[in-house]
Amino acid sequence: MNKLKPKLFSVMKTYNKNQFFKDIIAGIIVAIIALPLSIALAIASGVSPEQGLYTAIFAGFFISFLGGSRVQIGGPTAAFVVIIYGIVTEFGMAGLTVATLMAGIMLILMGFLKFGSLIKYIPYTITAGFTAGVAIGIFAGQIKDFLGLEMGSVPAEFIEKVAEYAKVITTVDLHTVIVGVISLVILIIMPKISKVVPGSLVAIIVATLLVKFTPLETATIGSVYGELSSSIPAPSIPDINFDMVKQLLPSAFTIAILAAIESLLSCVVADGMINSRHRSNMELIGQGVGNIASGLFGGIPATGAIARTAANVKNGGRTPIAGMVHALMLLLILKLFMPLAALIPMTTLAAILIVVAYNMGEWKEFFSLMKHAPKSDVSIMLVTFFLTVIFDLVVAIEFGLVLAAILFIKRMSDVSSIRGWTYSDEDDSEENDPMHIALKQVPEGTLVYEIDGPMFFGVADNFLNISIKDDTKVLVLRMRSVPAMDITALQSLEKVYDKCKKNDVTVILSHVLEQPRRVMDKAGFSEKIGEDNFCENIDVALARAATLI
């Protein structure tokens, strides 16, 4: 799974002509699906339509060529729309290129450092929160084009968007709304009619013909952006300075994290569909190279696209060749048919993205979590959601991760404890645990404390619960339920040891597990205690206490 070798190089050993033709067919179909999405996502991100295709071509090719999945399809995705729009608004296209290149480098480093498996430690509540938040942001960004509102550029901030829409809501264009609604209806009903023909392609064809041959008049890509270029730009890097890098670092980090999460999630989904296993670290490297290539050729950030990857699998794609064919097919479309894209109505692209936003929000799952998840998890999801909508993804993910970490520490603190053994007159000998207190004979002058749960900075003060009596000669700390310990907890334990030493009390540690023992050894605490006072279980510890007394 973590092998640093592209999947392409492995699958070619058993490649055959039959699979080659299947990959070509799958690649062509996926390219047809990716074409309108790439254009729509580019426009929604605040860049030119061509840049969406540049992304799908260059990032898509290298993500398949060097990635760790057999069937991953890379390209622009809705998850990046909000953050790209914000970067372009504040820093321009040069800033976006720098952020994309930096994110690519980060992804490559993450792959070589074998961080592929660490992505699973990002809570699902954060992923659900920012995904739903991005969906709202995408939807809000399409209102202008869907309704044909007369206004300048759409503000980047959500609240400013809403305020601006409220000012110009009376400028709704009826023709634009009619074309948009027709497009939306086609997008909704097409999946029920055909699983093969993309609804977005049908909607674009029907809407374009309507505008061309009926009195319905509405803005098109050509009327807004002018003539579309069919040429491939030369690779270039904008002027970079330290201040720019420093300002764009948080955004680049967010892009890298999003790309990693979405691509690896897509890989997991694809693995289940084809009964395979991806190479997570190689996938991160492929994603990094793909983003660098996209940035160099004027594209935008890219990642693995779950819907396009699923379409690839369903149409017979089983090797990275299909993804490479998809990229080459888009290149062919760009060179031969790009001028025709100028006829596509803007309201149709808005309708496509409204459907994308609805699907990516996974609202059924979102509200199910609201209803059934613990309150702490719901709070993380809602905080991430609202921060994504109102501010941006950088703030949302950072705050969400901090809140999740704090709540996790609180949960661990709640299940960690240090308690002294107490004795009851009742017969407890029927306990299933052969190491239960009721079955032990504790020597006089010996105190036994049971430590449960991980010992870390959040529960270090629990050691204050250990109290030594005047007649105490030996303190036994039973640590069989301590899987981990950090240096803060060890320092608290050292304070207990120092207090015992002053009062001539010997400290015995029972059943110390591997990780806590390593921490003690490294800090020199084991030498203070003495090897004889590390006992393998409570029976040996109590026997040791009896000997000392």
Query: Cα separation of 497 and 477, whole Å?
Result: 11
Give per-residue pLDDT as tens, 338-384: 988 999 999 999 999 999 889 888 899 899 999 988 888 999 999 99
What share of the chain has pLDDT > 70, as a percent? 96
Could you please report the per-residue DSSP string of 247-282? HHHHHHHHHHHHHHHHHHHHHHHHHHHHT----HHH
Q: What is the pLDDT of residue 414?
A: 84
Q: What is the pLDDT of residue 438?
A: 56
Q: What is the pLDDT of residue 437?
A: 54
The neighbouring-strand residues paired with 474 are: 446, 506
- Strands 474-481 and 74-75, by their bridges, are unpaired
Could you please report the per-residue DSSP string of 382-398? HHHHHHHHHS-HHHHHH
- The sign one gets for the Cα dihedral 429, 435, 438, 441 is positive
Q: What is the pLDDT of residue 544?
A: 94
Q: What is the pLDDT of residue 426?
A: 45
pTM, to two decimals: 0.77
Domains of the chain: 7-214+240-406 (no CATH), 417-548 (3.30.750.24)
Which of 33-37, 103-107, 139-143, 414-418: highest mean pLDDT? 103-107
Give per-residue pLDDT as tens, 474-514: 999 999 999 999 999 999 999 999 999 999 999 999 999 99
Q: Which residue type, as a one-letter code, is found at position 251?
A: S
Which of 1-5, 424-428, 470-474: highest mean pLDDT? 470-474
The neighbouring-strand residues paired with 449 are: 420, 477
Q: Show the beta-strand stretches assigned E in 50-193.
A: 74-75
What share of the chain has pLDDT > 90, as a percent? 69
Nearest to 154 by CA among 88, 227, 220, 78: 88
Q: Which helix (H) or strand (E) holds 371?
A: helix 363-372
Is pLDDT at 297 greater than 90 in this prediction?
Answer: yes
Q: How confident is the model at residue 407 (pLDDT cuts 50, 70, 90)?
A: confident
